[in-house]
Amino acid sequence: MGSAVEAVFRELDEHIASTTRITGMKCSNLCNACCRTTTIEASPIEFIPLAVWLYENKMVDEFLIRLDKSDQTGHCPLFSPEAWKEGKGGCLNYPNRGLVCRLFGFGYRLDRIGLTELVTCKEMKEKIPAAVNKANLLGREKPDTVPIFTNYAMQLYSIDPDLAIQHLPIGKAMRMAIEKLYFNYTSKSNTLSEQNTL
C-alpha cells in the first residue's frame, strides 16, 4: 500500500511543479504558517508512507512520544520550530508529508457550480498576488491541467477506502496509519526472528 500511495504523491508533485512553472506560485522563504496551525485535518492513508518509514527506521517509539505531546497541543507532530529556526524548514519528515501538505496553497477545488477554484493561503495572496491571479486564471481556463483535491483524494480512496474516507486531526491520522501497519511489521519481525533461531 505504501508504494501505491507514494506513486500518487509522485504524480501529484510533478503535477504541482508543472503548474507552478506556468504560474510562478511558490512558498515564501521558510514560511511554515500552514504547518503551525492546530486545525490541520488529514486522512490516515496520507501517512502510510510515513508509517512505513518509521517502522523501517525503527523510529516508531520515538515518534509515538511526539504524537502524545501533539495530542495536547493540537500541532502537527512533525512540525519542529527548532528545525525551522536552524533554517531547515519546519517539517521533520518532508519527503513523507501528507496529501494535504502537498496540495495546500497549490491545489484546486470545484465550487458549487463545478468551476475550478484555487485554494491558496493568505501569505501567497499578499506576497505574490500576480502569481495567484495567474493560477486562478489557469484553473478557470484550463481546469483539466490543474491539480484538483478530489481527483487525488479519489486515487487514494481506490487504494484503501476505509483509510481514505476518514478526516481526522493530523496527529490522529498519523497514529492510525502507524496502527494499521503494526501487524505487518510485527509479524514480519517475528518471522525474521523465527528464521534466525532455526
Positions that interact with ligand SF4 (CB under 6 A): 27-28, 31-35, 40, 76, 78-79, 90-91, 97-98, 101, 104-105, 121, 123-124
Residue 37 Cβ vs ligand SF4, minimum distance, rounded to whole Å: 8
**By C-beta, is 99 or 164 nearer to ligand SF4?**
99
* DSSP H helices in the chain: 2-23, 33-36, 48-56, 60-73, 81-85, 99-103, 122-127, 129-141, 149-159, 161-165, 170-197
Q: Using CA atoms, how far apart are residues 35 and 119, in angstroms rounded to an integer? A: 16
What residue is closest to ligand SF4 based on CB?
105
If the CB atoms of residues 22 and 83 are measured against ligand SF4, the closer one turns out to be 83
Closest to ligand SF4 by CB, 95 vs 186, is 95
Output the smallest distance, CB 114 to ligand SF4, in A. 25
Q: Which amino acid makes up residue 81?
A: P
To ligand SF4, the closest distance from the beta carbon of 99 in angstroms equals: 10
* Cβ 84 to ligand SF4 shortest distance, Å: 9
Q: Is 76 or 176 the residue whose CB approaches ligand SF4 more closely?
A: 76
The distance between the two most distant Cα atoms of the chain, rounded to a whole number of Å, is 67
CA torsion through residues 92, 188, 42, 150, sign: positive
Helix 60-73 / helix 170-197 crossing angle, nearest 10 deg: 160
